[in-house]
Structure 1
Amino acid sequence: MDTSKLIPNDPRVKYESAQIRGKTYKYVVGEPQTSPPVDTIFLIHGFPDMGFGWRCQVPYLMSLGFKVVVPEMLGYSGTDTPEDLNAFSLKNLSADIKELARKFVGDGQIILGGHDWGGALVWRVALWHPGLIKAVFGICTPFHAPMKPWIALEDMIAAGKLTNFTYQLQLKGPDVENAIQGEEKVRQFLNGMFGGLGPNGEIAFNIEKGVLLDNLSTLGRSALLSDEELDYYVQQYMLQKVPQLRGPLNWYRTRKINWEDELPLADKPVTLEMPTLYIAASNDTALPPSLSVGMDQYMPKLTRGEVGGSHWALTGASKDVNGQVAKWLNGVLNGAIKSAL
């Protein structure tokens, strides 16, 4: 089977949509050549990515015998952007994933993987719906336990904690949403966020300030995206209602909502009993590997991995990510995919 990365509108996968808890979700389905599939894997993207961010993983996992489902998450790529911010809470998004999964596995289980915000979400799906999850993995995003009492992010940063999340104070506010509107600005933003550099090393983003809006128009092309891929990202962003970034940025606006939802979980011991995998990226400034200290106490079946490079490990370190995920999956499934490795 052809394991080269997906291209825009790739004929190897199907593009579908479904009504999920009153919202339209777009998603991609990749079917393996073997029948029945070894298992069903859902892959959840983060910010400012979309399902296409998993383009290097989908054909590879299909070649190992997996059915692969990649949702366009709430606020992205033609999936709905509800007005109610509560729809973007991790508890509500977890319920959406569960309902979409039922279309494919009925009362069975899925394997669930996520990157960035998708990584944060998959750990929460495993907390809220453990019976749905056979195994779960996160790329770059470590697990953190429900918090009690409430501490605002501003206060944590002022106290010298989670300073690597300082950029989130900008993203949850109005500035980026207001500035990045229309095709040209969206293109500059995406090119920059995926690593475009200016003539003097200017960048689009840092963890101290967030998006460096004044730099965006000066940046050269990102090496992580071909022209065709960047065009596709922009096209998908332009499917969203104005302002195009409201849905994606809403994920940063639910911290208090998530805390309130999770108060019942914070009152009891938290354990994820299913097999878990966390793969860090060594040069991820927003989600450094050190952020995962203490994860092991919540996950008796945790496997750890690490890849070189930046936050964009799915494309920048795709071969290494794929190999580590496949080795772990083969252990989870008791050697069921060994012949394909």
Structure 2
Amino acid sequence: MDASHYRTLTVSRGLAYNVFHAPAAAGKPTLLLLHGFPGSSYDWRRTAPYLAARGLGVVAPDMLGAGGTARPADAQAFRLAAIARDVVDILDALGLAKVVGVGHDWGCVALSYLSLLHQARFAGFVWLAVGFREPATEPFDIEQAMAQAKALLGYEWYAYWLFLSRRDAGDVIQEHIDSFLQLTYAKDPATWPEVLFRRGKAAEHIEGDVLLGRADWLPQEEYDKVKQEIITHGMHSRLLWYTNAVDNNDLEENKKIQKEAYPIKVPSLFVGGSKDPLFVEAVSLETLKKYATDLKIESVDAGHYIHLERAEEVNKAIEEWVATLSV
């Protein structure tokens, strides 16, 4: 990611975002890349250069709480409608009337709210690893969600949220950064179910300094950069995406979203990883199928971080699909 393409943009609620922007060539669309947890815009290091080299515009902000963007201490700042407004403010500041939205992980949750509240600004959506998130209109109870997941899937999918939403989770991660990173970017994604989906195991694993080894697709140099970014900017604020969800801060705004806004009336591309333990087709993909009127589905042989592990395949899939859009 070329440092010369970064700029600081302040959104309407006064928060400063660190934004990568490579302008599009004449007649080419711009892609908005929204990363997930626990990363930063550096997550797009294998995507942004590929797209820009083909004349496509790229906008990739450090999402709220991460990288060089503002790091609020209040979970209320992470209400998803407010974050969606921030992203639109960024597009306005860059003079971009319409873009193609691309999300990964929590970036897909932000993308969901952009679809719900600002769909007219998008020519299409690309969902990587995670599909459309229907806004919850009933309180989220993590214990109830875990029980439902166990009944449906046989394991407590949300178990790791218990750790990530703890008030001291940021300190724990900072103090045990390598065990956290080598769990997040594990050499073998099959490790996740035994750790993430079992109550108490994520904290036990991280605090115990269990080192699994980094993924083969993550070179030491990149691992060190990811590690240094977290050491420099901290974990506390970016964990508030989870706290916001557990605290139900979106609930009242969700209730105001009209059902007519739920359908995704522009084309969508979903790319999933066949080895991603976090992907639950019965939840994520079925919801996307329910609301997307024009949906293409692709799969790659990868874990959760498909755009990094199988960058060439994912980049090509995005490029070819974007070429079919009317932008």
> Considering the TM-score relative to the shorter chain, is it more than 0.5?
yes
Q: Deviation at 1:15?
A: 1.9
Gap change, CA 1:145 and 1:203, over 3 Å in 2: closer
Code of the aligned partner of 1:97: V
From 14, 23, 39, give the equivalent of 2:29: 39
Gap change, CA 1:161 and 1:20, over 3 Å in 2: farther
Which structure ranks higher in relative contact order (CA pairs < 8 Å, sequence separation ≥ 6)?
2
Q: Deviation at 1:268?
A: 5.0
**Which residue does 1:250 correspond to in 2?**
240
**Which residue does 2:110 correspond to in 1?**
121
1:28 paired with 2:20, answer yes
**Which residue does 1:168 correspond to in 2?**
161
Gap change, CA 1:61 and 1:37, over 3 Å in 2: farther
> What is the distance in 2 between the residues matched to 1:205 and 1:48?
17
Gap change, CA 1:316 and 1:215, over 3 Å in 2: farther
**Which residue does 1:58 correspond to in 2?**
48
Code of the aligned partner of 1:223: D
Instruction: Summarize deviations over 1:100-145 as a string: whole Å, max 9, x none.
Output: 0112235x11111010000111121111111111111110111132
The answer to whether the 8 Å contact 1:15/1:27 transfers is yes
From 312, 315, 320, give the equivalent of 2:308: 315
1:261 paired with 2:253, answer yes
1:92 paired with 2:85, answer no
The range that moved more, 252-261 or 186-195, is: 186-195
The structure with more helix, counted as a fraction of residues: 2
> What is the distance in 2 between the residues matched to 1:294 and 1:28?
31
How many residue pairs get aligned? The number is 314
The answer to whether the 8 Å contact 1:193/1:205 transfers is no
Code of the aligned partner of 2:22: G
Aligned-partner SS, 2:249: helix
**Which residue does 1:48 correspond to in 2?**
38
The answer to whether the 8 Å contact 2:132/2:287 transfers is no
Identity across matched positions, percent? 24
Q: Which runs of 5+ in 1 are unaligned?
A: 1-5, 335-341
> What is the distance in 2 between the residues matched to 1:289 and 1:55?
28
**Which residue does 1:337 correspond to in 2?**
none
TM superposition score normalised by structure 1: 0.84
From 254, 270, 273, give the equivalent of 2:262: 270
> What is the distance in 2 between the residues matched to 1:167 and 1:246?
16
Gap change, CA 1:239 and 1:224, over 3 Å in 2: same
Q: Deviation at 1:80?
A: 0.9
Instruction: Report 1:82-161 matches (<5 A).
Output: 82-106=72-96, 108-159=97-148, 160=151
Q: Which runs of 5+ in 2 are unaligned?
A: none
Aligned-partner SS, 1:245: coil
Gap change, CA 1:288 and 1:210, over 3 Å in 2: farther
> What is the distance in 1 between the residues matched to 2:152 and 2:82?
28
TM superposition score normalised by structure 2: 0.87
> What is the distance in 1 between the residues matched to 2:266 and 2:279?
23
Aligned-partner SS, 1:293: helix
Instruction: Report 1:208-247 matches (<5 A).
Output: 208=198, 209-211=201-203, 212-240=205-233, 244-247=234-237
